[in-house]
Amino acid sequence: MPNLIIPGKTIGIIGGGQLARMMALAAKEMGYAVGILYPKENCPAAQVADWQIVAKCDDEDALMDLAMGSDVLTYEFENVAADKIAVLSKTVAVPQGSELLSIAQDRILEKAYLEMNNINLAPYATILTLEDIEFSTSSIGFPCVLKTIRDEYEKKGQMVLYGEEDIPKCEALLKKGTCILEAWIPFERELSIVISRNAAGETSIFPTAEIIHRQNVLKETIVPARVSDEVSQEVERISLTIAEGLDLVGTLGIELTLTTSGALYVSELVSRPHCSANYSIEACSTSQYETHIRAICGWPLPDITLFSKTVSVTILGEQMDGAEKQIQLKPNWHFHYYGKKEARKGRVMGHITILTKDIEKTIEHIYDTGIWI
């Protein structure tokens, strides 16, 4: 039997943003103490945790201090070095391990893993120079997307190329290192699915969600996705294939695109709870944050029941005033604020979840506010 981390023990979280905050809230409800490693004091997660180590998330001494003060470790983003996680696992339980982290933080490894498991991907090429782009576009075509193989946290390195005239503009991105060039597949909908799995191989699978991005930021989530049952079943099958192949322990988010012809392409793996499943806090029998804590602590995992159709919207810094006015006008909306002090333009400040019987009418009400356009 997998090791059970009982309530009263301490969960250490690498990272202090909103995902870590919601992990910590779930852990506290389940009776755990929570420690945070993050360089900014009074960060969103630290506001609800028991203690914080104020240091960079890749600081080896700080990581070891977090490990020594915890009974199990987890993380809220992919950019902690996989080799450092491997070292920490000799001191404290890190059930998620380092393999998934290595794959999720390197787009080349991610695509190689998906190809090995016969998962459908957009055509792509590895890029080192502008000449590589010129050569690869002859087969990939335009438009296409150049991406760095690694992301800086919340700063996605990518550029869309619409024609040959855009190739010289890629020089700055290439200076950051190896990139990949992906074909731009015209899609009908973007989808996501979240799956949690424990060391015993039990899974909790959340409903397929429809997601809408603006400038690489999640704007809106619609659940269940407005797709056929066959598409939802195939998305679920893909999530199980990936999770079992990785021997996943913890929670995994998978982003996909659906074409007008019904083809599905996996676009990204996210090795942690995914913001598209924040609706699960109100709309599901168990939230993704609780299933994540259950998985890393060796608890059994439940089947997930969706209580209600739902629409969730992200609150950005420039939308704070408008969203706050809705508090008095929308008593049935569920408002979540992340405790960030500075409301900068484009900064994710919170989200709102709306349980509904009529998705289309709810979307109309959201747009009628003039806040989300």
Same domain, residue pair 280 and 149: no
Instruction: Assign 204 to helix, strand or coil.
Output: strand
Mean of per-residue pLDDT scores for the chain: 94
List of residues 6+ apart from 39 with CB closer than 8 A: 54, 55, 56, 57
| pLDDT for the residue 99 | 87
| pLDDT for the residue 287 | 98
Same domain, residue pair 347 and 292: yes
Residue 44 has pLDDT above 90, yes or no: yes
Does the residue 210 lie in any domain? yes
Instruction: Assign 210 to helix, strand or coil.
Output: strand
| pLDDT for the residue 152 | 54
**Tokens 């806090």 sit on residue:** 281
Q: Distance between CA 177 and CA 173 in Å, rounded?
A: 8
Same domain, residue pair 25 and 60: yes
Residue 2 has pLDDT above 60, yes or no: no
Mean pLDDT lowest for which of 105-109, 282-286, 293-297, 353-357?
105-109
CB 20 within 8 A of CB 79: no
**Cis omega (within 30 of 0) on the bond before 224?**
yes
User: Rounded mean pLDDT of 334-346?
Assistant: 96
**Which pLDDT tens digit goes with each residue over 231-279?**
999 999 999 999 999 999 999 999 999 999 999 999 999 999 999 999 9
Domain boundary (159, 183, 207) is at 183
User: Rounded mean pLDDT of 34-50?
Assistant: 97
**Which pLDDT tens digit goes with each residue over 137-153?**
999 999 999 999 886 54
| pLDDT for the residue 227 | 97
User: Rounded mean pLDDT of 67-96?
Assistant: 92
| pLDDT for the residue 1 | 44
CB 311 within 8 A of CB 276: no
| pLDDT for the residue 370 | 95
Does the residue 353 lie in any domain? yes
Same domain, residue pair 233 and 356: yes
CB 344 within 8 A of CB 332: no
Torsion, Cα of 113, 116, 122, 128 (10° steps): 60
| pLDDT for the residue 80 | 82
Same domain, residue pair 77 and 161: no
CB 211 within 8 A of CB 192: yes
pTM of the complete model: 0.94
Residue 214 has pLDDT above 70, yes or no: yes
Q: Grade residue 155 by pLDDT with cuts at 50, 70 and 90.
A: very low
Does the residue 111 lie in any domain? no
Count, residues in the chain: 373
| pLDDT for the residue 79 | 77
The CATH number for 70's domain is 3.40.50.20
User: Rounded mean pLDDT of 307-322?
Assistant: 98
CB 285 within 8 A of CB 301: no
Residue 210 has pLDDT above 50, yes or no: yes
- If one counts every other C-beta atom within 10 angstroms of the C-beta of residue 300, the result is 11
State residue 363 phi and psi, 5-degree precision: -60, -40
Domain boundary (183, 202, 220) is at 183
Please, what is the angle between helix 18-29 and helix 288-296, to 10°?
Answer: 70
Does the residue 196 lie in any domain? yes
Strands (E), the chain: 10-14, 33-38, 51-54, 72-75, 124-127, 144-148, 158-161, 179-183, 189-197, 203-205, 209-214, 217-223, 250-258, 264-270, 309-316, 333-337, 348-356
Q: Are strands 250-258 and 189-197 parallel, antiparallel or unpaired?
A: antiparallel
Q: Distance between CA 337 and CA 320 in Å, rounded?
A: 10
Find the domain containing 75 and state its range: 10-94
| pLDDT for the residue 215 | 84
Residue 86 has pLDDT above 70, yes or no: yes
User: Rounded mean pLDDT of 204-221?
Assistant: 95
